[in-house]
Amino acid sequence: MLTKTKIIEYLKKQNRYKIDSIDKDHITIRKGSAIVTVHSKKFLQKEWVEFNSLVVKNADVDKKLMRMILDINYKLPIGAFGLQKDSIVFKHTILAGDHLNYEDFSIALMVVASISDKYDDIIANQHGGTTALTTIF
């Protein structure tokens, strides 16, 4: 898949993030305590690149936390917090294929990694749960 080749090329080019793993489905990178998976997928007969980060697992998802992440979502120009089973996640998707360029890729990755790294400890400290780094390693 051409997009996966571009993703790997772009990750190596920017040299900002540690590549933890490359497998057939996704590439995993780390920034501070944030872990971001990057993978391409087909949707509406187009190829997309999806950036996902597990922010906190097993947090106490109460009204205060929901308001906090919705307020943050409103202020952010790209990406969004969401719920996935028992976890708070942050994700962003961009059109790929022939449209994938280094600048858009780098901005999307920087936003997902930075926001996840900034808020994982805040959420875990205020609402319990564990950060991705603690959960996975």
Number of Cβ within 10 Å of residue 116's Cβ equals 29
Structure tokens, 11: 């990750």
In this predicted model, what pLDDT tens digit does every residue of 116-125 receive, in sequence order?
999 999 999 9
In this predicted model, what pLDDT tens digit does every residue of 52-87 receive, in sequence order?
999 999 999 999 999 999 999 999 989 999 998 888
Q: What predicted TM-score, i.e. pTM, was given to this entire model?
A: 0.88
Indicate the Cα dihedral angle 57, 58, 60, 65, nearest 10°: 20
